[in-house]
Structure 1
Amino acid sequence: MTDLGRRALLRGAGGLGLGALAAPALAACGSADASPVSSGRVDVSLWTHDPGYIKTFGTAVKDPALMRGSRFDYRVRATAAAPSDVVTRMIAQAVADGNTPDLAGIVIDQYPRVMGASIAENLFVDLTETVRPSGDDLLKLAPYTVGGVPYGLDSDNSISVLYYRQDVFDEYRVPQDVETWEELAEHGERLHSDHRVSLGMVSTGDNGSVVNGFLQLLLQRGGGFFDASGELVLDSPEAVEVLDFMCRGVRTGVLLALPDPYGSACAAALKSGRLAATAMPNWYNAYGLQANVPEQKGRWRMRTLPRFTGGGHLASTMGGTAFTVLKGKPRTDAALELLRRVYLSRDGQILRYRSGGFLPTLKPLYKDPELLGIKDEYLGGQRVFDVYSRAAADLPLFYQAPGMQILSDVLGGPVLDALKGRTSPAAAIEAGLGAYRQQVKR
């Protein structure tokens, strides 16, 4: 399709709320000569919300081993913006034939905005051939696939594990190797009744945290919101079962109701010892535990999630950021090669882990001796890849669809009502489904 055709199609995506945009603050990338850059010095423009990605790419282009044999001498020109702004302004620039980035980091919950109206197809490079050599070894493509075509590579496998206070478990005789959530809940009820200590948390504040907490456990149980074809699959026994487990946990004190997993209330619960365990992704170690309770270094450990008695997986996932390459630009080929080197090579994935703690998305690396030997001093010197390797081998697939944000918006309220005891889990799921179907009809 021509550039003119792409712009016309993007203008037709008015339903995405892009009609009234402020002056594009990301336009600082500047224009380049229209002819493709095939070698030599190249300034790749990068848009992202996270300084960690800016650091990672900046470190990568200066790594002689990683860049060996490249036709390009890379410089990275980065622009930081809020996750929603990256997508909004990128599409606005494309519509206006302005300066889009060469590489765009799209947070997973923003990605559904480009899944409809052929936006991904017209903005991003088809990565089918790029990822083909990796075959089934490449994890976490599903959330960024549209019509069977992958358009983004995730930066982090975002494996959910159970973080727990080993000292608290030892003191109150909670087994560290408990097999199921149901068994852990039995210990949790005793612990809360006797000592006012909880072994997990649920979010009752912002809509995103409410829905994400539910989705994390639903994926582990074997459910989901959408399937690979984009069909809604939330109407399931697994969804009701998971929400019932969460509601029962709140009632009995096994799960502590907090506004979100990151704010002052959670920090206070961690500091006081009221929260002695939580199921969260790998990145929560740095952004949740170490950020809030650095003085508890050495007391925390991690393990794979307990299973649900009814079935499912040993692990789950929450969060992520995919990098996409904008098509039809002078630096498209250079950006694609940079993404391939940093995201699809062993050295690139190890650099990403050491630079920003981003877990590999290539299966073989979970058996790589260099990673298996890594010890986490905050977690008492634990060899964390012993846990990650088991979890990565049984990680659920997570599928998205263009209606993902609508579903999240309308589901949060009913889930919160259930957690607060104002409705039943089954009624909450039914209410969310009904609201979604009304919205998508409009």
Structure 2
Amino acid sequence: MEKNLVENPAALETQRNDDSFENIWQELKWRGLVHVSTEESALEEALAGDPITYYCGFDPTAASLHLGHLVQLLTMRRIQLAGHRPLALVGGSTGLIGDPRESGERVLNTPETVAGWVRSIQDQVRPYISFEGENAAQMVNNLDWTQGISAIEFLRDIGKYFRVGTMIKKDLVAKRLNSDEGISYTEFSYQILQGLDYLQLYREYDCTLQFGGSDQWGNITAGTELVRRVENAQVHALGTPLITNSDGTKFGKSEGNAIWLDAELCSPYTFYQFWLNQADADVIERLKVFTFRSREEIDALAREVEERPFSREAQRTLAWDVTTLVHGEEATRKVIAASEALFGKGEIAEIDEPTLRAASAELPVADLDPQSASVVEALVSTGLVSSKSEARRTVKDGGAYVNNTKVDDGETPAGSELWLHGRYLVVRRGKKNLAIVRRNGD
């Protein structure tokens, strides 16, 4: 995982909150990052006052973070830019349990697997918040304060503060209790572990704010209640909204796969294309949540969407900002150059193999034997045309291209010198209909 990290301190140095807002709370609301919270006026006052310590947790239930986590990482950074001190918690103990899902028990991963994921996710978190300066971030792991607790201590010292009646009313718990699968005591107890995190961080760091996705609200408020009961103290909580598309579908999915932050699980090319393809109805909200563009800049882009939607200026700005944030400027420039080259606006031979491989996952693709990989066969096999006769007409009319070179012989197999990286042909019909041919057996 470490080889995929983008150390981008320059990005942190250029990030700013928008000073046109009275305080960070007002900016968070404008960006659509407040779905639910404890008493709003008290939380706004706390964030507008002297520095406080706050935390957000990330459970290592996979080797990489995804776009849902990016919402939290950027929210952490915005609050840090307002002068407050972040604690980034990667859950070495909660990751061994896993919070309840809407359906079905989680598979329990081995301690060795979870420990490896902890290290990977810690590495992924670090570039997004600053670990230097007066309000430097700190990384914490809840395994440090849970692994030495005995079952008796856990039940006597922590469990006694939780009421079963309250616990079973939590949304996800209630759904699972009413399902055929039910819920195990292991997952049922997850909210106690997360509540313990808040209590520990309150005691050790004077942490007074926890935030996370609104689907975690039950677990988050378990912590506020535990601190109130044990320490007789009022602490704050914030739930950010779950991001959805304007049509109600789940955001952050592409062809059934999560958009991961790890370049090996989701290539920079795929990542960039995901943002570039955002709908006009969604792109302005994405700019608010996922970029540090000011209100003035985003309002100007909103006018572009309304008046000149064909320019796709908002989408290109979004794709540039987020891909640069996650993968770095060099990778983003390579992706843009590759995208242009694929459609005939650059040197296609300069596209590196990982990008071509990523493109083959996004475009129509066919695996052909190099002995029979003629243009006609390629056009038909990739679905760019419906028949060989149509393919021949396309060639005759000058509308067939291999690696951006117009072809006039549709029957002769492509020579070995044409195969990019020895494996790929880029086939195009007209200006915009693109496909990839791969050498069969590679």
Q: Would you call these one fold, judging by a TM-score over 0.5?
A: no
Using CA pairs below 8 Å that are at least 6 residues apart, which structure has the higher relative contact order? 1
